[in-house]
A = this chain, B = another copy of it.
Amino acid sequence: MATTSGEPVLVPLTGEEEAFLRAWSRAALTVPRALDADLLSGQGMSLSEYTALMHLSEAPGRSLRMSDLASACALSLSGMSRIVSRLETQGLVERARASGDRRGLNAVLTDAGLGRLRRAWPTHLASVRRHMMDHLSELTVPAVTGALQNFAADTPCADPQQEVRRDISPGNA
C-alpha cells in the first residue's frame, strides 16, 4: 500500500463520507452556538459555565480539582481557570485549597450554584431536544455514541503542560 515514494496512499473519502463530514462540520459549529445562545438568552449563562456546573454537581462532594474539571469539560486548564473565576464572582462556585496538596485547588459547587444549575436545566434540556435529539431516531442514538467517543480521542485539550507533547513533522510551507 505504498507507492515508490515514502508517502502513504490516501484514499479519498467516499461520497457518503464526504456528506457525513460536511454535515458534521456544519453541525459542530452551529449546534454549540445554538445551545449557547438559548442558554444565554434564557438563563444568562453560557454553555461552558453550564457544563462546568453540571460536572461539579455530579462529582463527589460537588467538588473537583481544576485539572479534572478542565478535562471533564474538554477545555484547557487556563480556560477552565477563567470560567471558574467567573462562576466564583457569581457565588456559584468556590475555590478550596486541596487538602494534602496545597498547590491544588478544588472547585466546589455552592448551594447557590446547584440552584442555578437546576433552574437552568429545563432551558438547556429543551434546547438539546430541539436542536439535536428531535432529529435523531432511537436507533441511531446508541449506534453513534461509541463512534463519537472515539473521535479525536487521543487529542489533548490544549495547554500542553497538561500532557505530553506529541509531535509530528511539518510538511512544507
Which A residues lie at the B interface, using CB under 8 A?
7-8, 10-13, 16-17, 19-21, 23-34, 37, 41-44, 51, 74-75, 119, 122-123, 125-126, 128-129, 131-133, 135-153, 155, 157-158, 168-173
Contact = CB atoms under 8 A, between A and B. Distances in A.
A145 B27 contact: no
B42 A171 contact: yes
Given A20-B144, A34-B152, 5 more contacts: A10-B126, A16-B138, A29-B75, A131-B155, A136-B147
Given A30-B155, A43-B171, A23 B149 contact: yes
Nearest to A150: B135
A31 B30 contact: no
Contacts of A158: 33
Contacts of A131: 151-152, 155
